[in-house]
Chains A and B, each alone.
Chain A
Amino acid sequence: GESVGLHLPTLSVQEGDNSIINCAYSNSASDYFIWYKQESGKGPQFIIDIRSNMDKRQGQRVTVLLNKTVKHLSLQIAATQPGDSAVYFCAENGYNTDKLIFGTGTRLQVFP
């Protein structure tokens, strides 16, 4: 999603449901993508990454999907738990560069 002003896009899900967080990227030369989770008062924490030669990668309860045609990235969280509540950022970097650029975040709220 896209943020407007000071408001983060928010996704509210019920505990136990699956969550899907979306991200659009702009640089077609980007070849590496990461999802980070940032809890209140903490630094971003790595969740999962994917390279541009892949379409899908799975971790523990998380799956990242990459669609290079439309420059879209998504993070799927299975059986969402209260501890998953946080702001989620996608990040991209271009080929042979030290720059990791973060996208606009999405706040995930999990309710019982």
Chain B
Amino acid sequence: DTEVTQTPKHLVMGMTNKKSLKCEQHMGHRAMYWYKQKAKKPPELMFVYSYEKLSINESVPSRFSPECPNSSLLNLHLHALQPEDSALYLCASSRQHEHTGELFFGEGSRLTVL
């Protein structure tokens, strides 16, 4: 069982909708991540939070808006998405600020944009 919990597991939304993906971990990790994964492709880094501050944004379009309310929670707010944004969105956490430890992944939220 993963110790990183993501909700919802599946989400279908229209291009004009606003929705959010949520991620929670209680391992005391201080770094949290969002990755996007298309079918048959490796996960691609989107955002990194270290100590609740955004440390990396991989030039992600502004229709994706991350938020880290506290050290256990990570959200990804979605607005005006495109069909090509349909993918598996993976949240992960790690112990340390510098990325020298393993990432613990959730099982992902599968997003379909109609």
A interface residue numbers (CB < 8 A to B): 3, 6-8, 32, 34, 36, 41-46, 49, 89, 93, 96-105
Within 8 A of A (CB), among B1-60: 2, 4, 31, 33, 39-45, 48, 50, 55-56
Shortest C-beta distance, B110 to chain A (Å), equals 9
5 smallest beta-carbon distances between A and B, as pairs: A43-B105, A102-B42, A46-B102, A98-B99, A98-B48
Given contacts A6-B40, A105-B42, contact A99 B107 (CB under 8 A): no
CA gap between A41 and B99 in the complex, in Å: 26
Having A8-B40, A98-B97, one finds 10 other A-B pairs with CB under 8 Å, namely A7-B40, A43-B90, A46-B103, A89-B42, A97-B98, A98-B56, A98-B99, A99-B48, A105-B40, A105-B41
Give how many B residues have a beta carbon under 8 Å from the other chain's beta carbons.
28
Q: How far is the CA of A104 from the CA of B99 in the complex (A)?
A: 20
Q: Is the interface of A mostly helix, strand, loop or mixed?
A: loop
On whether the beta carbons of B108 and A43 are closer than 8 Å, the reply is yes
Q: Is the CB of A99 within 8 A of B45?
A: yes
Nearest B residue to A7 via CB reads: B40
CA distance A99 to B39 in the complex (A): 21
| B2–A43 CB distance below 8 A | yes
Residue on A nearest B42 in the bound complex, by CB: A102
Residues of chain A within 8 A of B64, CB atoms compared: none
Closest-by-CB residue of A relative to B98 is A96
Our pick among B50, B97, B99, B107 for the contact of A100 (Cβ within 8 Å) is B99
Residues of chain A within 8 A of B33, CB atoms compared:
100
Residue of A nearest to B50 (CB): A98
Our pick among B42, B100, B108 for the contact of A103 (Cβ within 8 Å) is B42
Which residues of chain B come closer than 8 Å to A101, judged between CB atoms?
A: 45
Docked CA distance A63–B33 (Å) = 27
Cβ-based interface call for B106 (8 A): yes
